[in-house]
Amino acid sequence: MEWAAVTKTAKAWIDELRTPPRARMTQLRGRIGVLSADPGPERAIAEGFAWLCHAQDQSATHDGGVARHFSLIDGWSSSYPETTGYIADTFIVHGTETQDRRLVERAFRMLDWLVSIQFPDGAFQGGVVDARPRIPATFDTGQVLIGLAAGAGIDSRYREPMIRAADWLVRTQDPDGCWRAQEKPFVEPGEKVYETHVAIGLFRAAAREPSRGYLEAASKQVRWAIGHQRPNGWLANCCLTDPENPLTHTLGYALRGITEAYLRTGDSEFLGAACRMAEGVTHAFGADGRLAGRLTKEWKPAVDWVCLTGTVQIAESLLLLSRATGRDDFRVAACRANAFVRRTIAIEGAPEIRGAVGGSFPIDGHYGRWQYLNWACKFMIDANRAELQSSKTGPAQRVKT
């Protein structure tokens, strides 16, 4: 055996010894495929909100934001502006619908913190709040904008920060719709098609301020993105680090943004692109709802672990598209996917993991390794809310702006 191989094996053995017992047990359960009983959408939603509230309270920076993750290795992280932004949106929507004022007040705490760290030009930083360098990031600004737009819908104090963030995105957008000048730190450089999820923030801001060009900027970005689509629905340049085998997480971002574009505009070009992508990914699901965490250009598994975040992100879009088109294959695939993720969630036990969603299944997969991610939980809630809504309503009408 070569010395490099010996060193690698020894390091793996040492890392295994240093892994805490609870992490090793969670890892083992995932590796042998142990899943819990399905708690159902309502219980999963309730437990998910409880965990996100706990994550807000336990953030290492204690600032009103939501901790990026809980790690089985080193505990709670600092707050993450990007994801706190769209978590606030989920809290406002659900809290308003259920008349749960506690969720709305928690969302206000999140948004007040975000406004306090907004750059003078309207942008928001990339990474966790204490990451360095602290520089403006297009993607993160777009995600915070989603929350600010939700807040502005019920409280006027968020209108001005929303406008500043949206204006910054419009100013920094290239003529073809792409954002290139302010690349997200901590990921590989280059064009990112999944920034259709930035367009969501602009679509939502356009609903509040229809005369400021936000709808046009958002639509332009999505048209640029679908120009990268292949006949089988595949999107090029759609990953943080590996565009040849992208994460389902970034594919999920892209699909949700294209779906939002249709719901906001009614444009059949957007619907066609979303359905082509949905058809491709639907064929990648296993019969039990399992979806490999990375997929090839042919929609084939590229890894043997599941990115739980991507699974529920895609499930939500499939449910929205099923309502828009009446396609039952989208709904069936989404419900199976939701059920698979729900069966990975602990609904009893310690509060730091009860209701949480892992980055990967097994927990030592290569996305969010050993971590329970706040955005995984947020998207799980969104997907299960969409599942409940799909069982109560008929075909969706596009959202009016």
Tens digit of each residue's pLDDT (9 = 90 or more) over 149-187: 999 999 999 999 999 999 999 999 999 999 998 766 667
Kindly report which listed range (6-20, 283-297, 305-319) carries the lowest average pLDDT score: 6-20
Q: Does the pLDDT value for residue 2 go beyond 90?
A: no
- What pLDDT shows up at residue 13? 47
Hey, what CATH topology would domain 228-393 get? Answer: Glycosyltransferase (1.50.10)
With beta carbons less than 8 A apart as the criterion, state whether 35 and 344 touch.
Answer: yes
- What pLDDT shows up at residue 392? 77
Q: 357 in the Ramachandran plot: left (φ > 0), alpha (ψ -120 to 50) or beta?
A: beta
- What pLDDT shows up at residue 27? 76
d(CA 329, CA 198): 28
Tens digit of each residue's pLDDT (9 = 90 or more) over 188-211: 788 999 999 999 999 999 999 999
Give the best-scoring range by mean pLDDT among 24-28, 216-220, 396-400: 216-220
With beta carbons less than 8 A apart as the criterion, state whether 143 and 85 touch.
Answer: yes
Strand partners of residue 346: 354
Alpha-carbon dihedral 289, 290, 294, 300, rounded to 10 degrees: -80
Tokens at residue 55, please? 């994550």
- What pLDDT shows up at residue 35? 86
CA of 153: how far to CAs of 35, 93, 164, 386, in Å?
40, 10, 16, 21
d(CA 298, CA 58): 42
Give the best-scoring range by mean pLDDT among 5-19, 101-115, 176-190: 101-115
Whether cis (ω within 30° of 0) applies to the bond prior to 21 is no
Q: Does the pLDDT value for residue 1 go beyond 50?
A: no
Q: What is the percent of the chain with per-residue pLDDT over 70, rounded to a whole number?
A: 92
Equal CATH topology for 59-199 and 228-393 = yes
Kindly report which listed range (22-36, 185-199, 314-328, 355-369) carries the lowest average pLDDT score: 22-36
Q: Does the pLDDT value for residue 270 go beyond 50?
A: yes
- What pLDDT shows up at residue 6? 40
d(CA 164, CA 162): 5
With beta carbons less than 8 A apart as the criterion, state whether 112 and 78 touch.
Answer: no
- What pLDDT shows up at residue 185? 63
Tens digit of each residue's pLDDT (9 = 90 or more) over 333-372: 999 999 999 999 999 999 999 999 999 999 999 999 999 9
Nearest Cα to Cα of residue 373 among 50, 76, 42: 76
Tell me the average pLDDT of the chain: 93
State the first-to-last Cα distance of the chain, in angstroms, to the nearest integer.
64
Predicted model pTM: 0.93
The pLDDT-based confidence of 400 (bands split at 50, 70, 90) is very low
How many other CB atoms are there within 10 angstroms of residue 375's CB atom?
Answer: 24
With beta carbons less than 8 A apart as the criterion, state whether 78 and 129 touch.
Answer: yes
Mean pLDDT computed over 87-102: 98
Tokens at residue 150, please? 């939700």
Sign of torsion over alpha carbons 185, 172, 216, 201: positive
d(CA 242, CA 61): 31
Q: What is the percent of the chain with per-residue pLDDT over 90, rounded to a whole number?
A: 86
Residue ranges of the domains in the chain? Answer: 59-199, 228-393
Long-range contacts of 155-162 (CB under 8 A, 24+ apart): 155/108, 158/111, 158/115, 159/208, 161/114, 161/115, 161/118, 161/122, 162/205, 162/208, 162/209
- What pLDDT shows up at residue 8? 44
Hey, what CATH topology would domain 59-199 get? Answer: Glycosyltransferase (1.50.10)
Tokens at residue 204, please? 């939502």
The pLDDT-based confidence of 398 (bands split at 50, 70, 90) is low
- What pLDDT shows up at residue 393? 66
d(CA 27, CA 29): 6
Q: Does the pLDDT value for residue 143 go beyond 60?
A: yes
- What pLDDT shows up at residue 5? 47
Q: Which residue has the higher pLDDT, 21 or 31?
A: 21
Tens digit of each residue's pLDDT (9 = 90 or more) over 50-86: 999 999 999 999 999 999 999 999 999 999 999 999 9
Mean pLDDT computed over 223-240: 97
